[in-house]
């Protein structure tokens, strides 16, 4: 099993659920309206759980229903790419200085 950990600040969650910030994103790039709205829903659901005190979320395929599994399958490649870049980008920035 491979474990990938993402850290997200509560401020980042709040910023991505703020109606004014969302309106600004839509005004800036209306072609991505569906993505922006989907992000808003996701951040909103997470914000509710954070406000109730939860701060850790473990996502594994066995916990997901069929629709969530489809989303997982669509997004996991990008998540793995970010994880790989996180390690290689850190090594590059350590050697550049």
Q: How confident is the model over 21-64, as pLDDT tens digits?
A: 989 988 988 788 888 888 999 999 999 999 999 999 999 999 99
Query: Is residue 2 one of the residues assigned to a domain?
Result: no
Q: Are 27 and 42 within one domain?
A: yes
Q: Are 51 and 70 within one domain?
A: no
In the prediction, which pLDDT does 89 show? 77
Q: Are 46 and 77 within one domain?
A: no
For the stretch 79-87, contacts whose Cβ atoms lie closer than 8 Å and that sit 24 or more positions apart, written own/partner, are 79/4, 79/6, 80/4, 83/4
In the prediction, which pLDDT does 87 show? 82
Residue 50: give the domain boundaries. 7-57
In the prediction, which pLDDT does 32 show? 83
């Amino acid at each position: 099993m491979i474990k990938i950990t993402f850290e997200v600040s509560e401020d980042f969650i709040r910023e991505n659920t703020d109606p004014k910030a969302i309106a600004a994103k839509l005004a800036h790039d209306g072609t991505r309206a569906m993505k922006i709205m989907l992000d808003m829903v996701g951040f909103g659901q997470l914000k509710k759980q954070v406000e109730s005190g939860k701060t850790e979320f473990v996502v594994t395929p066995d916990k997901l229903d069929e629709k969530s599994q489809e989303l997982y399958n669509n997004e996991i490649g990008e998540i793995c790419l970010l994880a790989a870049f996180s390690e290689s980008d850190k090594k590059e920035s350590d050697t550049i200085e």
